[in-house]
Chain A
Amino acid sequence: MNLPGLAARDVSVSLGGRRVVEGATFAVEGGEFVAIVGPNGAGKTTLIRALAGLVPAVGEITLDEVALSSLAPQERARLIGYLPQGHVFHWPLTVAEVVGLGRLPHTHGAGLGEIDRSAVELALTETGTAAYRDRAVTSLSGGERARVALARVLATEAPIILADEPTASLDPHYQIAIMAMLRRHAEAFGVVVAVLHDLALAARFVDRVLVMDSGRIVADGAPREVLTAERMRTTFAVEATVIEVSGSPVIVPLGLSDKSR
C-alpha cells in the first residue's frame, strides 16, 4: 500500500524581516515518523507551521506530489492535522465537543454524522480520554488537556500529522503511550512529523531525526547516526556520552561544553 508522503524543497520563512528558516530540504516517505529536534530558537516551530501552511514560506512544499499552496484551506485541513504548542481551550466545552472540532474539515452544517461520531469515539479511546468525555475541558489537568488536544487532531483522520511538542507536560506513562500512538498513526495512515525536546524518547520511537540549528537543517538521519556526542557538542553545546539501551541511543548529558552558547 502506498501511503502519502511529504516533501520540502528549499523552504525558507521570514518573520518580521528575519530569516527564521533557511533552505530546508527533506522528504518524509509515507509510513515514516520523523522528529525535529534542536536548541531553543532554532526554527523548529516555524518550520512545522510552514509545513502546515500556516505561515507564508518560499520554496516548495508538496504532499504526495501536490503543492501545498494549491490546496483550498478545507482540503488542506483534511490532509494535515496540526497540533500547536500549549493546548489552550478558550471556552469550557465538553471533552467530546472539543474532540468533535477535529471533524470540522469534514462537515458543512452544525452537527456530526455517523462517521464523524465514530471518528470522535476512536480518538477518545486511543488517547485514554473517553472517561471524561462529558467534563468541561477547562477543568482538566495539563496532561489531560494535552491528550484531549491530540485526540482532536486524531479525530480529523488526516494522513499527515504535524505536532509541536506533543509530549510536553505529559507524565512518563502518557509520553510513551502518545509516542506509540503517533508511530502507529504513521505506519497505518501516512506521516507524522513532531517537534520533540526529549531526545531519548525521540530515539526510541522515530524513524528519522532532523536536527535544526539557527534556521537550518544540519543533520538528517536515523537516530543512532544523528544523535552523537559530537552533534550534542556542536549543536546543543552540551558535553554528553551516548549509551545504547535496547538498540536505541540514549544521550546522557555530562555538562555544558566549553564553547557554551
Chain B
Amino acid sequence: MANWRADAWLIAGLAILVLVLFCGSLAVGPVVLAPGTVVAGLFGGGGEAARIIVQEIRLPRALLSVMIGGSLGLSGAALQGLLRNPLAAPDLFGAPAAASFGAVVAISLGVADALSFALPVAAIAAALVSVALLVVVAGPRSSLLVVILAGLAISSLAGAGTALALNLAPNPFAALEIAFWLLGSLEDRSMQHVLIALPFMAVGVALLAWDGRAFRALTLGEEAAASLGFNLARVRLRVVSGVAAAVGAGVAVAGSIGFIGLVAPHLVRPLVGHDPARLMLPAALAGAALLTAADIAARLIPAQEEIKVGVLTALIGAPFFIWLIFSRRRDFAEDER
C-alpha cells in the first residue's frame, strides 16, 4: 500500500532528524569543542577533558532528551488514541504533576535521594494513580469537557500536594532544590540517571506500542471497537500503566517537562492521514526531536542562568495549545451539542 511507503519515508526522515539533533546535542555546550574532538571524546580519546565533557556530561543529556521526548510523544499519541481526542496529552491531565508530587514527597521524606530507584518508583506510582483516576472520571464516553475538567482537577490536587511539600520543607535550601528540580531540566545528568529511567521507560514504551489496532478501531467509538473484538478494559489498563511508567520515569530524572506529548503527535498527525495506529512511531520520533532541539536551544539562549528546558517547552507549548484550541473551536462546539 502507498501508505506504508509514505510512512517509511516519514519515519526515516524523522529518525535522521533525531540523529542529527542528537549529534548537535553532543557538540553544543559552554566549552567549545571542535567536531573532531567531540567524536574522539565520545570514543574515549582526545584528552581527558574532552572525554569527560562528551561522555559524562553531554552524552547522558542527549540520551535523556531522546528517551524522554520519545516517551512523551508516544504517551501523547496513545492517550489521544484511547480517548479519541487530540487534546489528551499526558501533561494536560495531571500525570507529570502527579509524578512530580510523588517524587517530591519521596525526596522530602528522605526516602530517596536524587539517584535512587525509589524516586522513579514514587513518581510512577503517583502518575499511575492520576492517569487511572482520569480514565475512571472521564468514563466510557470521555466527553472532551469532562476529560479536561478532570485533568485540571487532578493537576491542581497534585500541585497543591507539591506546594505543601515545599511549604513543609525542612530548610530553604531543600525547598530551592525541589523548586529548581520541578522546573524540568536535563542539565548535569549522569549515566546513572539514564540507567534509572531506562528500564521503566522500556516497560512503558512496550505497553504503549501494543494497541495501535485498537486505537484505529476506536475511531468508531467504544461500542463498535468492542464489537470488532477488542477488549477495551485491557487496552485502557495497558495505556494507563504505560503512560504512567514512561512519564513517571522521565519526571523522576528530569523533572516536569510539558507539552511535548501534546505537540509532537499533533505535528505529525496530518502526515499519517490522521490514522491513530500509524501515528505512534512518528509521534515518538517527533517528541524525541522536539525535546532534543529544545534542550539545545536552552543551552544556546544567552542568559545568566541556563534556561531550564521545561520552562522553554512550556513557553512554546502553551501558546501552541492556545492556538490549537482556537483553530478547533468549531469542532468543540459540535462535540458538546
Which positions in A face B, CB cutoff 8 Å?
49, 52-54, 72-78, 80-84, 86, 88-94, 97-98, 101-102, 104-105, 110-112, 136, 149, 152, 156
Contacts and interface: CB of A to CB of B under 8 A. Distances in A.
Contacts of B218: 90
Given A49-B223, A105-B228, 16 more contacts: A73-B226, A76-B229, A82-B227, A84-B221, A84-B223, A84-B227, A88-B220, A90-B218, A90-B220, A90-B221, A91-B274, A98-B219, A101-B217, A101-B219, A102-B228, A105-B229
Contacts of B224: 82-84, 152
B260 interface: no
Nearest to A108: B213
A77 B228 contact: yes
A97 B231 contact: no
Nearest to B224: A84
Interface residues of B, number: 26
Contacts of B220: 84, 88-90, 98, 101, 149, 152
A88 B102 CA distance: 38
Contacts of B266: none
Contacts of A112: 1
A112 B216 CA distance: 14
Interface of B: 1, 4, 84-85, 212-213, 216-221, 223-224, 226-231, 273-278
Nearest to B4: A111
Contacts of B273: 93-94, 97
A92 B270 CA distance: 10
Contacts of A94: 273
Contacts of B274: 91-93, 136
A171 to B, nearest CB: 22
Contacts of A83: 224
Contact of B228 (A49, A75, A88, A104): A104
A90 B213 CA distance: 15
A87 to B, nearest CB: 9
A102 B217 CA distance: 9
A54 B226 contact: yes
A111 B230 CA distance: 17
Contact of B227 (A52, A92, A97, A136): A52
A112 B1 CA distance: 9
A110 B215 CA distance: 12
A243 B221 CA distance: 41
Contacts of A82: 223-224, 227
A149 to B, nearest CB: 8
A73 B229 contact: yes
A91 B84 contact: yes
Contacts of B213: 104, 110
B219 A104 contact: no
Nearest to B278: A110
Nearest to A52: B227
Closest 8 CB pairs of A and B: A77-B229, A90-B84, A82-B227, A74-B229, A73-B229, A84-B223, A91-B274, A104-B228
Contacts of A88: 220-221
Contacts of A73: 226, 229-231
A77 B212 CA distance: 18
A77 B228 CA distance: 5
30 contacts: A49-B223, A54-B227, A73-B230, A75-B229, A77-B227, A77-B228, A82-B227, A83-B224, A84-B223, A84-B224, A84-B227, A89-B219, A90-B85, A90-B218, A90-B220, A91-B219, A92-B274, A93-B275, A97-B273, A98-B219, A101-B228, A102-B228, A104-B213, A104-B217, A104-B230, A105-B228, A105-B229, A111-B1, A149-B220, A156-B228
Contacts of A98: 219-220
Contacts of B221: 84, 86, 88, 90
A82 to B, nearest CB: 4
Contacts of B231: 73
B145 to A, nearest CB: 15
A104 B274 CA distance: 18
B126 to A, nearest CB: 29
Contacts of A76: 229
B275 A91 contact: yes
A102 B220 CA distance: 10
Given A91-B276, A111-B4, A54 B223 contact: yes
A92 to B, nearest CB: 5
A136 B4 CA distance: 19
Contacts of A89: 219-220
Contacts of B230: 73, 104
Could you say which of A82, A89, A110 has the most chain B C-beta atoms within 10 Å of its C-beta? A110
A126 to B, nearest CB: 19
Contacts of B275: 91, 93, 97
Contacts of A86: 221
Contacts of A78: 229
Nearest to A162: B227
B12 to A, nearest CB: 17
Contacts of B217: 101, 104
B216 A101 contact: yes
A80 B275 CA distance: 25
B271 to A, nearest CB: 13
